[in-house]
Structure 1
Amino acid sequence: MAGWRMDDVITQEHILTMLYRQRDLNFVPGAEHLYSNSGYALLADLVSRFAGTLFSEFCQREIFDRISTSTTHVHDVHQRIVLNRAYSYDDVDNVYEIRVLSFANCGTTSLFTSVEDLATWMIHLQEQRASGDPALKRLTEREALNDEVENAYGFGLTAREWRGSDAIQHSGSDAGFRSHLLMIPEHGFGVAVLCSVPCGPQRLAFEVADHCLADHLDPAEEEKSNNQGHQSETQPDPLAEDVMSQYLGEYESQELQTRYWLLMKGGHLRVRHQRHRDMEMTCLGIDRFKGSQRFLNAIRFTRNNGQIDGFLADGGDRVRSLRFEKVEGRRENTTGEHA
């Protein structure tokens, strides 16, 4: 939403600087659970400050070297050459293309590893679990939300019941990379799936578990059909031209330090950013629009004394109601044509 692309070099400093500008919460703490990459970036920064060393160096010394992983490291220098490194790809119209990833940050991502090292890691976790290690217990500890509903996500790992056994797991994705780690401690079982293309690794991991543990698991529950027939969405009536014209102009987010231009093209409202393609917005009613891109999937205009003064933007499932203020007196180039 701030204009960053996946193939940009994004450093830890970039992320922390953006986080320090954030003003609002998505919800009251404890009201619900929402996965937070930002939280892990802050945790990595805290570890680095308390340890007095880089987060990557701390992990190498205190974790990876202690359990003898041979290839795992925190990749916080994007220029670093890595032996046998895999690159990520994606299928675009039946042609594979490279999906460049140049991250130089940690806590949220940038853990380079292999299936062999992940197997070593799972064996270590199994041994620690058997010994009653309180740290491991904390990782999978589930606490109730404010409404007393139990949260499935622990302090770093997801733990839930699956076919009569506890399943401990976590997924990861960046660019074209996909991964899933699944452990069934009761049966001494674990599987790691690493992909360099989007392929549904969680599904693959559970299919392997189904096959290997078929004689030890409770019968699988039949999937409940939710097919109630196709129900077409009711399309709202088009807004009048004088109403649509109120939305045009330039909008700025102080938190992201970025600007969007709203313009008309072919009778439709479009959103323009200098680093993205124009995005067509679908009208859902007065002052409400649905976006065509995941990072900007909804906007709701706000008014002051009847006049548009900005909008609130949602991105994916983790950004909610991010404030953009309308920049007064800036209406140039709102016809949809590039200057």
Structure 2
Amino acid sequence: MWPAHIMRTIKYFKSNDALTALGSSSIFSTAEDLSKWVIHFQQALEQKDPIYLRMIETDTLNNKQKIDYAYGLEVSRRNGITNIAHDGGWAGFRTIISNFPDQKLAVILLSNDGNFDVYTNANTLAGLFLKDKVSPGPKREDLSNLPNVAVDTLLLKKYIGSYQLGPGWYVTFTLENGRIMVQANGEDKFPTDLKSDTVLWVPAYNSSVTFREIKEKAGALKYRGIIAPRVMPVKITPSQLNQYAGTYYSKELETAYRLSVKDGKLVAHHIRLGDFTFEPDLVDAGKFSSYNGIINFLTNTPKKINGFRLTNGRIKNILFEKQQ
């Protein structure tokens, strides 16, 4: 079994605990065995097996909105072609089985890259057999080959600051030696290339950023379809950081995190995950994030830290109590 790999910033890290991840997953198979399954699935649909027909029966939400999700499978129509698919993501592995029953075609992808885009790649492969009837998805505009432009420094200063891309996800722009630098929270800092008065290209992200609502300062930016408003960062002092140090235990998960302050950062230690850093949220005091999740600290009546709640992927608000 090959180890899984997870990208953090622009580096890959081996996930050695891939086989110990428990829950509703951890089913390991091969492309050959999955091929046998899709052949059987195709035959069952053609024979109108009631169990398999029920598996592709979609429904509506409480507000009567129709959805593509059926009984464990996603059923959609794109360019007049029916697609039945299911993807999986666990401990750095990404997989998909994508069926096109009317064309008797199936695409199976197995990846040990946690950032692998299974849907886009499956549709791209399917398009080779379906004469491009299946869209590979929208392509990001590549501005890397456009010439760089010189922009007045006063205008560049209007872009400097922090912007919120999503919950716990921020990006900060600085002006250093006449060049705009970009850094997302918890990541390295990267240079950018100016392509116009309002558009810059980030080679490390292979994507563009467009500044909007420009008055005294840019009020927002657009990045990969996300409109990110400008935010005013909350400052946290070393003494404030020290109050979060301690050991926190979850009765539900029967596991603990030990938090300590090292070099001005809040560092977590877990017996299986090792050491990693929780970065403070730029807007919400008492909220920290890492590649292992987001924590919101809790206080008691005297305003002392007595625990936190952890949210990560498919878990939400798991309680960890501070140990005395």
- TM-score tier by shorter-chain length is 0.5 to 0.7
How far apart are the structure 2 equivalents of 1:269 and 1:96?
21
How much has 1:97 moved relative to structure 2? 6.7
Residue 219 to residue 147, structure 1, CA distance change in 2 (3 Å): same
Query: In the aligned structure 2, how far is the partner of 1:134 from the partner of 1:205?
Result: 28
Q: Give the AA of the match of 2:318.
A: L
Q: What runs of 5+ residues in structure 2 fail to find an aligned partner? A: 142-207, 212-220, 222-227
1:298 equivalent to 2:294? Answer: yes
1:206 is aligned, of 111, 123, 133, to: 123
Return the offset for 1:280: 3.3
Measured in 2, the distance between the counterparts of 1:171 and 1:290 equals: 30
Are the equivalent residues in 2 in contact too, given 1:173–1:179 (CA < 8 A)? yes
Listed one character per residue, the Cα deviations across residues 250-283 of structure 1 (whole Å, up to 9, x for unaligned) are: 2111111122222222222222224311323223
Pick 1 or 2: higher relative contact order, CA cutoff 8 A, min separation 6. 1
Partner of 2:154: none
The equivalent position to 1:167 in structure 2, one of 62, 83, 88, is 83
Map residues 64-79 of structure 1 onto 2, 5 A cutoff: none
1:112: Cα distance to partner?
2.0
Tell me how far apart the structure 1 counterparts of residues 320 and 92 of structure 2 sit (CA, whole Å). 31
Which residue of structure 1 aligns with residue 147 of structure 2? none
Match of 1:321 in 2: 317
Q: How much does 1:235 deviate?
A: 5.2
Contact 1:157 1:168 in 2 (8 A): yes
Q: Report the 3-state secondary structure (helix = DSSP H, G, I; strand = E; otherwise coil) of the residue aligned with 1:299.
A: strand
TM-score normalized by the length of structure 2: 0.61
Q: Alpha carbons of 1:211 and 1:278: their partners in 2 closer, same or farther (altered >3 Å)?
A: closer
1:286–1:99 Cα change, 3 Å = closer
1:162 CA drift (Å): 2.0
Note if 1:131 corresponds to 2:28.
no
Q: Is the CA contact 2:310–2:317 (under 8 Å) kept in the aligned structure 1?
A: yes
| 1:311 maps to 2:304 | no
In 1: Cα distance, 2:257 partner to 2:49 partner:
50
Q: Which amino acid aligns with 1:162?
A: R
Question: Which residue type is aligned with residue 288 of structure 1?
Answer: G
Distance in 2 of aligned mates of 1:191 and 1:143: 25
Using the alignment, how far apart are the partners of 2:42 and 2:306 within structure 1?
Answer: 56
How many angstroms apart in 1 are the aligned matches of 2:87 and 2:311? 23
1:278 matched to 2:195? The reply is no
Residue 105 of structure 2 aligns with which residue? 189
When residues 89 and 189 of structure 1 are mapped into structure 2, their CA distance, relative to the original with a 3 A threshold, is same
Within 2, Cα distance between the matches of 1:104 and 1:176?
10
Letter in 1 for 2:42: Q
Distance (Å, rounded) in 1 between the aligned partners of 2:58 and 2:251: 36
Between the aligned partners of 1:101 and 1:176, the Cα distance in structure 2 is 7
% identity of equivalent residues:
25
Which residue is 2:168 aligned to? none
120 and 207 in structure 1: CA distance in 2 versus 1, 3 angstrom threshold: same
RMSD (CA atoms): 3.5
Of the three residues 244, 258, 271, the one matched with 2:255 is 258
Once the two structures are TM-superposed, the CA of residue 90 in structure 1 deviates from its matched residue by: 4.3
Q: What is residue 37 of structure 1 aligned with on the other side?
A: none
Match of 1:243 among 234, 240, 247: 240
Deviations 1:39-85 (A, max 9, x none): xxxxxxxxxxxxxxxxxxxxxxxxxxxxxxxxxxxxxxxxxxxxxxx
The aligned residue for residue 28 of structure 2 is 111
Residue 68 of structure 2, aligned match among 144, 147, 152: 152
Distance in 2 between residues matched to 1:240 and 1:98, nearest whole Å: 34
Flag the 1:87–1:155 CA change in 2: closer, same or farther, 3 A. same
The structure with the greater share of residues assigned to strand is 2
Quick one: distance in 2 between partners of 1:140 and 1:130?
13
Secondary structure of the equivalent of 1:284? coil
Q: Paired residues, what number?
A: 238
Q: Deviations over 1:270-302 (max 9, x none)?
A: 222243113232233454333222x3x211112
CA–CA distance in structure 1, aligned partners of residues 315 and 65 of structure 2: 23
Q: Give the C-alpha shift of residue 122 in structure 1.
A: 1.9
Question: Aligned-pair distance for 1:309?
Answer: 2.0
1:9 counterpart residue number = none
Gap regions ≥5 residues in structure 1: 1-85, 329-339
TM-score (norm 1): 0.58
Q: How has the CA–CA distance of structure 1 residues 318 and 183 changed in structure 2, closer, same or farther, with 3 Å as cutoff?
A: same
Q: Judge conservation of contact 2:127–2:135 (CA < 8 Å) in 1.
A: no
Larger helix proportion of the pair: 1
**Alpha-carbon separation, structure 2, partners of 1:281 and 1:96:** 19
1:109 and 1:140, CA in 2 relative to 1: closer, same or farther beyond 3 A? farther
Following superposition, the deviation at residue 167 of structure 1 comes to 0.9
> Cα distance, 1:99 vs. partner?
5.4
